[in-house]
Each structure stands twice: as C-alpha cells, then as structure tokens.
Amino acid sequence: MKKVLLFFGLIGLACFVQAQDIKLNPPTRSGGKALMETLNERRSERTFVKKEMPVQMLSDLLWAANGFNRPDKRTAPTASNKQELELYVVLDDGAYFYDAKQNVLKLIAKENFKAALGQPNITDKAAVTIVIVADTGKTSSKFAYLDTGYISQNIYLYAASAGLGTVARASYNGAEVFKALQLKEKQEVTLVHPVGFLQ
C-alpha cells in the first residue's frame, strides 16, 4: 500500500512540476508576408505597447528563430552544424528555456527578471525577451557570435512579417542575465532580443 501511495505521490509531484512549463503549439510553418515585403519592413523598434503574446504567436516566433525545420536541423544555420545556440525566454512571470525538440518552454524560475535585462525603456513593455545563449564547449566564441546573427535576423524577419517590433540588444549586463537564467560555466549570453507589439 505504501508503495502504491508513493508511486501516485511521485506522479502527482511530476505533474505539478510540469504544470509550471508552457506547452507550445505546433508552429504554423506557412504563410506570413512575402519575403521582399518582409525585408522591406525589417527594422529595429524600441517602443512597444504592453500586451500578452498569444501562445500560437510565441510558438511561431521561437520556431522561426531557432526551431527544428528538419528532424535534426534548425531554421538558423551554425558553423559545422554545432548547434551551440539555445534560446531562453523572459516573460513577465519568469524565465524559461525553449526546448526546441519538445516544443516546450521549461520553467527556470518564477520571478520577474526584467530588471536584469537592462534598457528598461525597451524591455519593460516588450511581450517577450529572447536571450540567445551559446555553449562555448561546442564551438569557439567567434562562431557562436557569427551564428547568433542568423537567429537575430530570423527574429527580425518574423517580427516584420507578423507586424511585431524587435531590436537586437548587445548592451546588457552579462553577469546579471547569466545569474537570472541560472546558466552554467561554459554558457555565454550572445544577444538579447525584446519582441513586442507596436499597437
């Protein structure tokens, strides 16, 4: 009897922990504005109207940024296919890891980390801030920063296509973001990308 109770107790605990994660929708993978129109509208935006981003839009944004578009490869290229870059997501209620394979945002901590991102005039009203993080154990810093540019451009293009605003931000306090996201020794923040609504 004790074993049965323990079994169901553990299952209950596992459900509770998973309930903190955000299950993303399957990405749309089609549609959007035509490429030339999207390029024409690509720009940096720093003033946002505060709104919550619907889960489908968040799913599409993250997939466009660095999701899997083939079983083992992604929308953004990496030198020698090292896939050293992962996305972290800061929402108003906490910080999450984007598990691109499982299509889930895994909770890191429920806390408002926006102050750690710096430039509050931009980040406070952003619906979401994507933090690009490199595993420097997989490749050199040089390639990690080069590869980051492709993800950044994917975010810019998705934003232009979806009528959202975004800006690449290199002016962040690396140590504070590192701590907020509970990063490990060989991980390095390479870019911060707030995304928000323009109206």
Contact positions vs ligand FMN (CB under 6 A): 43-44, 46, 167-171
Beta strands in the chain (DSSP E): 22-23, 68-70, 73-74, 85-91, 94-99, 104-109, 128-135, 164-166, 187-197
Nearer to ligand FMN, 53 or 168 (CB): 168
Smallest separation, CB 57 to ligand FMN (Å):
21
Smallest separation, CB 160 to ligand FMN (Å):
10
Counted residue by residue, the chain has a size of: 199
Nearer to ligand FMN, 18 or 44 (CB): 44
Structural tokens at position 120: 């509050």
Cα(180)–Cα(187) distance, rounded to whole angstroms? 13
Classified as helix, coil or strand, 95 is strand
Smallest separation, CB 170 to ligand FMN (Å):
4
Nearer to ligand FMN, 24 or 90 (CB): 90
Nearer to ligand FMN, 125 or 169 (CB): 169
Smallest separation, CB 78 to ligand FMN (Å):
17
Structural tokens at position 176: 């504070």
